[in-house]
Structure 1
């Protein structure tokens, strides 16, 4: 290596910043950034001269005057901005900018982002600079960098574009497949850098399929469903999470493995949570029953069986859905009759069912409900479609004896009371 000498003596003296440049081609420009050292490696003598010109320019612009960030952060932000502007003016190649942007994500230092935003806010050439960054991004995949540095480089170009064009679409930057690129970044960034990135950049799917990107925007209170891919089987997602070793995906996979093997999709998982696991008001859950009745009638019926808060109004709405085609729905209505609820309303729903499917379970439930009503003193008015006599005449006592022998005695007693056998 050739002789090493110190540049920018004034800054070095005032801030104890180490700026070392090797005279021979292939030497390094070293800038301390926190506990790390940013090493910029020129590829030619022309790069050395150009980089020193940029450094002297940054030196002359009073880096110490800003109250934002440390001196090292102000230095990185100033160098990044000046090199970008110099490229727009027809300066030498993008080697220095590529080195600057391949070091670490810009979001790892909020001060650097803030300083770049300040410069962009007062710039009259923001649109031109954004177009330049877009072109640099398009060429970034051919830079021949190591994978990890390529990930940081492409990420920082996207961040620079968002700084220059707040609330821009990912398509504006040239990102055709945002989820794929985000997965690439996730695989190469440290956990800390990834968490900082996710917390710093707001991704909105209001204009799906391409997200809108913003920096410093408060995150949404709920999930943006417009860009959610709901048709990916959770089994495939779990296999992918296991393959990639993604801890977040593996965590979700562990929770969702409890779903039935044939029902491992995000729609079913959402339905289970809303119907069985969310502590909400009864009227909210009632709306959920109606909402999911078309897609998962079996799940709705299973949850109704355990939910004693569901009344006649909800059952009336469910009677208009595919849920009502099941004999289990008849059982749910009958199980609520004669138990202190809205019996006239429930009987109205029962009368309006037409001819639902019938099996031994529903026949037992109907008999039990009509016996309870009679035992409580209720007498069916003439307008009711099914009265107690009709139910008793249709009973197959041999079948009832096999499933509910206790009902045989009660039915016989009531039959004698109403004179059915006289």
Structure 2
């Protein structure tokens, strides 16, 4: 579907010659309308003698309502699109007619203005991603342009020359009033039109005043008001039944919760999310970056946005991409959307991409979804042909899960969908596509030009309270104030449910939350769910046995988290978890017995037990099942990593206490295995959890142990363990392990001096440079941003953990690094350039330093570097004029850069120009620039020189 229509195209779509009103209009214009020859000369003649044209345009809009029932959803959208184009032009020429001024055209005049044809302009269409005011501003600009074109046409006529000054001014004013009045008339006509067609309100982003309802019920209400009254076929009725059934489904399976807890149904508990939306995206925009959304307003009218988008022409030209964090409700959103769209107008196909066969085409993914839903093989083409006028809406849920299950990069996935939509539209079978994904996997994803990108926002306080109102109506009340103390959990729907389930057993959360650290809360929360899983078996356990089993269950979960952390990924494959469990905990997968089914692997066993561990699977063509897993919220994994590290450290402490005196040190192979693959400084939450776990522990004893391991770091290892999440050289592992030992020492002590770490200044320099040489750049950046090192007169130096928020920018890493490595020369240079860098940034500072060290006769490359540096404009201009006429190649300087704009310090500019003049510079150029400069307030010596130059050049100076 075209994004915009002209007036001529619109009237053709609305009925052409068959429509009685259009036929009457065409007859009135002598056949010019449908012949496409309605030019400006006809317009100017028209409103002098034929105001009936305006009346007929209004009749066309009024009689459109007689055809709004019994047509397909796509046809209705086309009609509304075309009707809006007619409305836009009708408003303008009604306003034109109200001015009642006559313009007479001679035959020569008609030839002069015939080239301009406003009836063929592509007229703007309101967009649901813009506010009502922005849409009106767009129309106002159009009307201003139309009035300007008419004025230019009129001023070239013979009748214009016949007018006196007063008459000409009156005509100008009348055309000016036309643009303003057209915008007013457009609003009036639009209000009348929206009364007949409710979706128009949502195209222009106007709240409909409907009583507040939730769970996207208002979307259903709105779309039922706009229904085309088509009867859905059997398949659509069956699909609607499946989708409506999801509304009655409890949020989690009853078997996963205590018996006396009532779980609300989806329709009861679903809270419409807040969201942001961006349209007309360009290639440079990166939706995966949080900073890209900083200036995008947050909205809370999701139903209105969806009503406007799904009934707009743009919906069938590019996919709608819905982004969110894990646990933010992306999948539930598609379920709600499918349940709320009327089957008479929308044929919804919801496809879970995590379950689609790997490597299949887009069309095959849709057909797999249809087979899953309808339990029969249905081709996409057959489905489209039997929708009976309902517009197909394909919801592809979990693009990120498709990526992680297949391991194949698909940066052109949305482009492929847009091309598929175009082919469908060309065939007369248009379709809407909605794709959901996690934000973090969208880096590099190509976005078609018409794509709308929606980001689902975390819950705010009001939404948390709304959700708890539903929960508390059926269960023991959980106060919102208690929950809101933990925004990381409360702001995500699934994690909020976890808190509610945890508290529902015995109100432990409410009773203890004031004295719980975040780490303690996470520990109890996960232990409660682990205990439920352990006690599902009928084994007779003592209290000690139960505690041991729960601890082991949490250890297995921790290995899952460590598998992600040490591999630097957000999800992990089942086979990797199975291997890690065997290497770290000695948990082997059971062997298959003859005559039995293949037993679950160790990875499947642990990962399939918790609903907050999300599984994604895909089936290859060879029927191999690929499974990957991730936590619904990254914080679970971060806590479990900290927990596992802390447990290994405390276990090593117990071993050290039991160490025979004849042994110099305790075997730290297990701790080395865990801490030699990823730097702890790469995750702030992990460090925060470690600090909380350290509270109340034997800090001094643990610190002494860590310092001891650091002291012996360079010894030859007899074993590096069997744990190998990925291959690294021994030197890289040694670097990461020694770094993590320093970090653990700082977690335990807060601030450490050189003697406590048994490191002299030279030892520290060698150690930090060793880290820099062996760590990946991103991990070294984390070290620079976290470690704060200071020289100390008595104890050489101190080091602590102190994240420098200001220096998070990549360009400041170079400035901060000398303070970590204690590089005296670099520190001195840093101190020297810090004032410049603070004012101008690193790039400009580096260019300035290079320029200052360059003789004036060789300064062109350095000036060029300053000219190209971001933010260096004002600095460059000043340095240019400071060097102009000082002995360099002025001719080449001016040839390359011209004479830049002036700066605030006009004296620098004038003095540079005078030096240029005195050295025989370009007279014409100097004359032009000096004549435009004000010399008021110059130093007396400069003023004298300026007067002398002005006399020579024949320039009148400004005072």
Q: Bigger relative contact order, structure 1 or 2, given CA contacts below 8 A and separation 6+?
A: 2
TM-score of the superposed pair, with normalisation by structure 2: 0.23
TM-score of the superposed pair, with normalisation by structure 1: 0.45
